[in-house]
């Protein structure tokens, strides 16, 4: 797979050209373009970003999650700087975050499932060090989520995936939780993404966490 700027711009342009202007179900053409962009970014993260993290920093570093988030954000900036077009940059940042969230979430789920011995089917990484960087990221984010909210990240991510198919307010709640705990976005960044105030993002997050606890408790009942 080619990791040059031309290939990425071509994938982004196709994604933008087929993106619906209204929150209607995506067309088959847009889904195909989104899947192509996802495949490119997954390959880039697996073959470039994670190995780079493994080479630059020691395995099991305590701040793996922070370093990884910084590298992802640097990648976003490098892409956005390719065009001095504010509209294109805004649309592209939304697309990159949407696809990167899917890539990172799938990777975290795969690590957590394999650690539990359930349904992990990931292909082999390029190097054991690159996989270790991915495992460190997953474990740090799972630990943080559990310490902060007393919830297991794996089943919550699976539930959030179902929320995304339900429409308002569930899809927005899923985006906010994933943006915060998968992408490491700030509340101000989430407010910009959602077109609302930071104060309202806090409300959305509180409602999402309350619903997660309620649905997790319901699922655990005999």
Q: What is the structure's pLDDT at 50?
A: 83
Same domain, 108 and 167: no
Choice among 20-24, 75-79, 200-204 with the minimum mean pLDDT: 20-24
Q: What is the structure's pLDDT at 49?
A: 87
Task: Report whether pLDDT(27) > 70.
Answer: yes
Q: What is the structure's pLDDT at 124?
A: 47
* Dihedral (Cα; 104, 95, 87, 15), 10-degree rounding: 150
Task: Report whether pLDDT(222) > 50.
Answer: yes
Domain boundary among 147, 169, 200: 147
Same domain, 132 and 166: no
Same domain, 37 and 54: yes
User: Higher-confidence residue: 113 or 133?
Assistant: 113
Same domain, 190 and 111: no
Same domain, 10 and 107: yes
Distances (CA, A) of 164 to 33, 137, 152, 209: 19, 24, 19, 15
pLDDT band at 20 (very low <50, low <70, confident <90, very high): confident
pLDDT band at 46 (very low <50, low <70, confident <90, very high): confident
Domain holding 205, by residue range, is 151-222
d(CA 189, CA 15) in angstroms, rounded, equals 22
pLDDT band at 63 (very low <50, low <70, confident <90, very high): confident
**CB-based contact 37:95 (threshold 8 Å):** yes
Q: What is the structure's pLDDT at 77?
A: 95
**CB-based contact 20:30 (threshold 8 Å):** yes
Confidence (pTM)? 0.85
Report the candidate in 152, 173, 150 with the shortest Cα–Cα distance to residue 161: 173
Choice among 14-28, 69-83, 175-189 with the minimum mean pLDDT: 14-28
For the chain, what percent of residues have pLDDT higher than 70? Answer: 88
Domains held by the chain: number: 2
pLDDT band at 1 (very low <50, low <70, confident <90, very high): confident
> Count of CB atoms within 10 A of residue 82's CB?
14
Task: Report whether pLDDT(22) > 80.
Answer: no
Q: What is the CATH number of the domain that holds 169?
A: 1.10.10.10
Same domain, 16 and 38: yes
């Amino acid at each position: 797979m080619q990791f040059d700027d031309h290939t990425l711009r071509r994938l982004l342009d196709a994604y933008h050209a087929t993106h619906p202007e209204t929150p209607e179900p995506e067309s088959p053409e847009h889904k195909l373009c989104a899947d192509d962009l996802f495949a490119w970014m997954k390959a880039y993260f697996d073959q470039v970003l994670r190995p780079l993290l493994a080479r630059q920093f020691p395995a099991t570093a305590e701040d793996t999650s922070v370093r990884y988030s910084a590298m992802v954000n640097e990648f976003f900036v490098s892409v956005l700087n390719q065009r001095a077009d504010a509209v294109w940059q805004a649309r592209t940042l939304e697309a990159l975050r949407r696809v990167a969230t899917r890539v990172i979430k799938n990777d975290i789920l795969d690590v957590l499932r394999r650690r539990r011995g359930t349904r992990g089917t990931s292909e082999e990484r390029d190097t054991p060090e690159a996989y270790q960087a991915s495992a460190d990221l997953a474990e740090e984010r799972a630990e943080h989520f559990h310490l902060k909210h007393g919830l297991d990240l794996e089943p919550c991510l699976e539930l959030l995936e179902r929320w995304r198919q339900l429409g308002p307010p569930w899809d927005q709640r899923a985006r906010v939780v994933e943006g915060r705990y998968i992408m490491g976005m700030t509340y101000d960044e989430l407010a910009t993404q959602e077109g609302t105030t930071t104060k309202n993002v806090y409300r959305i997050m509180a409602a999402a966490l309350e619903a997660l606890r309620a649905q997790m408790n319901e699922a655990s009942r005999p």
